[in-house]
Amino acid sequence: MRKAGLLEDPGRGKFRITESGRRVLKSRPTRTDRKFLRQLAESTGPAIDGQALPEEDPPETTVTPKEALQDAYETLRNSLAEELLEQVM
């Protein structure tokens, strides 16, 4: 939000809304994701504070943390089983 000009940081760990931020807040956007922030940055210039916003959003995953842990567990277990079989043979 700082790179898009909506917030400023007057000191370490402190943030303050800018006039642009107030205007955006009054317009009540439905989402403030990277795409929205990138559009704001493009309307004010190619970059804010000399830093461009990332080009792509990170891919959204549909895997829950619990499922990710389960997949990792199964991968490790299968790997261990294969190693043990190789050593036994």
Residue pLDDT, tens place only, 20-56: 888 888 888 787 788 888 777 766 654 444 444 445 5
Count of helices and strands (H, E) across the chain: 3, 2
Q: What is the pLDDT of residue 45?
A: 53
- Give SS3 for 44: helix
The whole-model pTM stands at 0.42
